[in-house]
Amino acid sequence: EKPIARGLDDGRAIARAWRESGCVCAVGYQWRSREILAAARAALAGAAPALIVAGSYGPTEPARGDLAAIGSDTWFTDPRRSGGILFELASHDVDLMLALAGAAVSVQATAAAGGLALRGRESGGLHDVVSVSVRFRGGGVGAVHAGWTAEGSPPLYAIDVLAADATLALELDPVLRLRGRAAGRTVEAADTVSPRLRSQQRFFAAVERDDPSAVACTPADALATLATLLAAETAIV
C-alpha cells in the first residue's frame, strides 16, 4: 500500500530488500498503471514538462469514518502516523508528477485547516488543504493542490501538463481520459479499466513473467515519492 513507509529509513530498507531479493513488488500508486499516463508520455516524446498542475479534491476513505473519528485514537486522525491528507490524497499527485517529470530537487509546501472537511471541527493537527510546489531536475515546476472535502461533495482529480510543444489535460476520476495537443496534432485517449484493477493486473502479469520492472510502481519509484512528501511535510512544519 502507499506510501511505502512513513520515514526514509524504513522506506530505504524496503527498497533495499526488494533489490536484493529480486522479487516482484508493487506499491499501490495505482494512477501509474493507467493507459492515459503512457499516452501522455508518448505525446511528450521525451520532452521535459515545464509546468504540471494537479488538483485532488475529495473525501478520504469513506469506510474509515475519519471525520467522525477526530479526537479519538485512530490511524488517520494521528498525523504522526498517517501523514494526513499530504500522504493520503496529495501523494498520488506527487507520485504522478514524478512519473511524468522525473526527480525532484527542491520542495516547498503550505497547509491550512478549517475551510473544508474540518470546518467547525477541532483539527487535531490535521489539515484539510495542502499545497505543494516541486522543482524538477529537468528544470520544470510542479504544483499539487489537495483539498479534503466532506463526504457527498463531488470529487475532482485532474492534472494538466505543459511542455514546449504540448498541452495535455488528464482527467483522473471519475472520468478517465487524456485530451490535448502535442507536436501540432490532437491527443485523445481513455481508460476503460479502473486504475486499482489495472495495477493489480500488471502486478500479476509481472509475477507470471518474473519481471520486477513490469509493475506500475516499484519500491524505488515509491521511495522517491516518499522523500518528496517528507520534504513537503518539513516545509509545512
**C-alpha distance from residue 178 to each of 25, 38, 191, 223 (Å):** 28, 10, 9, 27
**With 90 as the cut, is the pLDDT of residue 46 above it?**
yes
Query: Model confidence over 107-165: pLDDT tens digits?
Result: 999 999 999 999 999 999 999 999 999 999 999 999 999 999 987 788 999 999 999 99
**With 90 as the cut, is the pLDDT of residue 175 above it?**
no
As given in the structure block, the three cell numbers for residue 56 are: 485532488
pTM of this prediction?
0.95
- Higher-confidence position of 186 and 196: 186
Query: Model confidence over 56-68: pLDDT tens digits?
Result: 999 998 889 999 9
Cβ proximity of 133 and 93 under 8 Å: no
Beta pairing, strands 141-148 & 51-58: parallel
pLDDT at 92: 96
The C-alpha atoms of residue 26 and residue 204 are separated, in whole angstroms, by 10
CA angle 222, 27, 81 (to 5 degrees): 75
| Mean pLDDT taken over the chain | 95
Written as one letter, the residue type at 140 is: G
Cβ proximity of 220 and 49 under 8 Å: no
Beta pairing, strands 141-148 & 156-163: unpaired
pLDDT at 236: 97
The C-alpha atoms of residue 236 and residue 217 are separated, in whole angstroms, by 26
